[in-house]
Amino acid sequence: MKLLLPSLFLSFTLASLNAADEAKTVTYEGKIAGVVCASCKEHVAGALKQKLPEVISVDVKPGESPDAEEKKLIIVASSGTITKETATEALGTYAKNYTIKSLEKKN
């Protein structure tokens, strides 16, 4: 019984910390055009992560139809300050190849 209580306390504490970390993230969803291959996806993700330090992850998924020009852009960040404009600016020279059509905060 003595070992059970500290173990339960530790489990509860770790669960609380994980929940707090998840609560701190903000997810953005939008549409991006021009991403046609894995290298394109890496260019977009790399630029956003490098120029926007609050970005945790970037994912580009297929659009509504497999051959759709616009893809789904998902950004997970540690703050709620990212906008379509700041993300476009972060693309830098890649902005001539990839166009962020929309971006909005989901949580």
pLDDT digits (tens, 9 = 90+) for 78-106: 999 999 999 999 999 999 999 999 999 99
pLDDT at residue number 14: 47
Q: Does residue 18 sit within a domain?
A: no
d(CA 79, CA 55): 8
pLDDT at residue number 65: 74
Q: Is the pLDDT of residue 46 over 80?
A: yes
Q: Does residue 4 sit within a domain?
A: no
Q: Does residue 54 sit within a domain?
A: yes
Please state, for a pLDDT cut of 70, what percent of the chain lies above it: 77
Q: Does residue 50 sit within a domain?
A: yes
Q: Provide the residue range defining the domain that includes 77.
A: 24-105
Q: Is the pLDDT of residue 59 over 60?
A: yes
